[in-house]
Chains A and B, each alone.
Chain A
């Protein structure tokens, strides 16, 4: 504390003066108080550095920070209550934001919709893909990516790495987006070896570190030797798996740094591309799209670099499948396919490519997944 008193005092005076100047400027309108240009607000439900869902978005936001005339403002750990409505309003009123990205799924209804009605001249884009033209205001929209493709590729890496032919999945909730990931992971592994099974454990919450660790331990105790997950922050799953000696596939963001030896690959969001697209359109004065989707080929998602434990055979199949997917119209879910209760869910000859809307209401676990949706 003693080594820099003069610096902090000067800094204190400087920031105080700046603060006072801002305070004086406030009556003349918040928009003038900030520098000219466009302000874009990002809102996260968890921590920006969670090694997961929120970090993936924050990385996308960071990619905008160097763009000319763009100011990025961010707020983390905002609950899906009146808090997020007030955060949006505060970003608009106090910071002059004109484009908002509330990134958590639960922000959409009723919170973002309420604010979109209140501020018809502000643009809102939401991650999750719920927007429909007849139901939702024109100044709102949604974007999402076909990350099931990434989990299929995870499955290929896992299928080659497993010795016990048992792989595991730690999942938050049995909702369509998660079920598609679980099924894709198993189907990828079965593309390597049709005898592989996948045990799934639902924790019930998006972020519940203790239960996630317990789930990993339970899976590994049952003989599972490759684990992946769909929870907000895969940090605990990745670290616990590696500590127990199992291989692990990542999700949301790159977690290789948490388990350098055991990390095979991971399905990552690549939001920088999506956010840049919106901002370029905004700067060019074009209308922003209301409904945006994309997969590997569109650069919405990407795979973590393959880890040191990935064999040559695995690398070959992984890269071949990735190349197929890059061409577009790759069907992960195709018939004949039964659910794990023995009923046919996709008949022979039927195939759902990544853009198929049917995939977004998936309510089953495919044959080979051990677990239940309820």
Chain B
């Protein structure tokens, strides 16, 4: 704050000369660039360090890291087919990552998105059959709403437990995931079961009219567009609105936020509910675009991969989009790597883990490098 106060402001002195004004402008530009560069250089460096460490791991297995990265490029990004493969896998991760990133702005680590996905999907699949005959333009939004409401209530409850009962949100959201999956299994195998689904208990299949198709000209479903739009909206909410600002203050210091009279309860529960709604929507899309009914296949781990995406994106909703596509590509290439290099599936998980740790470690470098931190240049002066 002191630096801002000491920075020369236009009102501080009478009409500076043109060269002086230019110098100030140049200085400001340099500072902005330096600060912006930090947000790109550090994550990219973390990525490279992670890849370098992983190369050692591959070499230790007596396989070629170069072949690994070549296959990863080819399987995940190198052709139109591969890139669509990456996009298809990224689609559910966008919304799943938001379920982590939104509460993270309040300083909450919610890792139970999987539960909200599963229950959101179940709710969407359950309300469609009774509405048979109603136009899809009404039913599909109703399914989305059902998924979002159920997902919102589920993670909203995590926020409520956190705020009113001081229950650790990480533990409660994780444990509630087990409850959610058990509940889904119970309902799918019991009251909501399609009697024709003998060996794979499922809900009644959705009518073809209520299914979400692929994007025009692409082999990727609409979830990619929905996810991207919601990411943009989440960015606006967090960075451009007073609610987002208030949430960030709560995340910085709850006591200070309370002293300022901010509605901490509403913010905590509201952001958690929004996060859950994102996950519930992801579940609805999974049912409407991929599975066609709710069953045990819904618990596919998107909620957990979403945690990784959100952390790699440093909880910035805009960064979630490229990170999800990157991880989608890594997963898309996993199969090719298994097939061509005879490496186990776990190899890709090791890569994801190494990148995760490298990114977490890189968090400690923000603000430390002189090149990126104008405050440090000035201290030297």
Contacts and interface: CB of A to CB of B under 8 A. Distances in A.
Interface of A: 1, 8, 11-12, 15-16, 18-20, 23, 26, 47, 73-83, 86-87, 89-91, 93-95, 105-106, 109-110, 128, 130, 173-177, 204-205, 360-361, 374
Most buried by A among B85, B295, B296, B301: B85
9 contacts: A19-B64, A75-B339, A79-B301, A80-B297, A81-B286, A82-B88, A86-B335, A94-B81, A105-B199
A42 B12 CA distance: 74
Contacts of B75: 90, 94
Given A82-B89, A90-B335, A106 B297 contact: yes
Contacts of B66: 12, 15-16, 19
B85 A175 contact: no
Contacts of B89: 82-83, 86
B198 A106 contact: no
* Residue of B64, B296, B300, B345 with most partner-chain A CB within 10 A: B64
Contact of B59 (A8, A19, A128): A8
B201 A374 contact: no
A76 B336 contact: no
A374 B201 CA distance: 12
A94 B88 contact: no
Nearest to A76: B345
Given A15-B67, A19-B71, A81-B290, A75 B338 contact: yes
Contacts of B336: 90, 94
B22 to A, nearest CB: 50
A128 B199 contact: yes
Contacts of A73: 339
Contacts of B295: 106
B44 interface: no
B64 A12 contact: yes
B252 interface: no
A204 B185 contact: yes
B339 A1 contact: no
Contacts of B345: 47, 75-77
| Contact size range, B | 35 or more
Interface string B282-300: 0000100011100111001
A130 B196 CA distance: 12
Nearest to A373: B189
A282 B157 CA distance: 56
Please report whether the interface of chain B is mostly helix, strand, loop or mixed according to DSSP: helix
Contacts of A176: 198-199
A138 to B, nearest CB: 21
Top 4 nearest A-B pairs (CB, nearest first) are A80-B297, A15-B64, A77-B345, A79-B300
B165 to A, nearest CB: 27
Interface in B61-106: 62-67, 70-71, 74-75, 78-79, 81-82, 85, 88-89
B335 A82 contact: no
Given A82-B290, A89-B81, A173 B339 contact: no
B368 to A, nearest CB: 32
B353 interface: no
B169 interface: no
Contacts of A173: 189, 201
A106 B293 CA distance: 12
A36 B88 CA distance: 31
B89 to A, nearest CB: 7
Given A74-B339, A87-B335, A110 B291 contact: yes
B182 interface: yes
B62 A11 contact: yes
A81 B199 contact: no
Contact of B292 (A80, A91, A95, A110): A110
Given A11-B62, A80-B297, A23 B70 contact: yes
B332 interface: yes
Contact of B67 (A18, A174, A175): A18
A233 to B, nearest CB: 15
